[in-house]
Amino acid sequence: MKPHLIVLDLDGTLLTDEKVISEKTAHTLEQAREQGHQVMIATGRPYRASEVYYNQLDLTTPIVNFNGAFVHHPRDKKWKTIHETISLPVVRDVVDAMQGFDIHNIIAEVMDDVYLEKHDAKLLDILSFGAPVIKEGDIRKTLQDDPTSLLIQADSKKVEPIRQHLAEVHAEVIDHRRWGAPWDVIEIVRHGLNKAVGISYVSKWLDIPRERIIAFGDEDNDLEMIDYAGVGVAMGNGIDRLKSIANEVTLTNNEDGIAEFLKERLHLT
Distant-in-sequence, close-in-space partners of 179: CB < 8 Å, separation ≥ 6: 44, 185, 186, 187, 219
* Catalytic status, residue 9: yes
Q: Are strands 63-65 and 70-72 parallel, antiparallel or unpaired?
A: antiparallel
Spacing of C-alpha 208 from chain mean position: 21
Angle at Cα 43 formed by Cα 8 and Cα 207, nearest 5°? 55
What's the one-letter identity of residue 130?
G
> For residues 64 and 47, what is the distance between their CA atoms, to the nearest angstrom?
8
How many angstroms separate the most distant Cα atoms in the chain? Answer: 57
> For residues 244 and 261, what is the distance between their CA atoms, to the nearest angstrom?
18
Strand intervals (E) in the chain: 5-8, 38-41, 63-65, 70-72, 82-83, 103-110, 113-116, 133-136, 149-154, 174-178, 185-190, 213-217, 231-234, 248-249
- The residues carrying an active-site annotation are 9
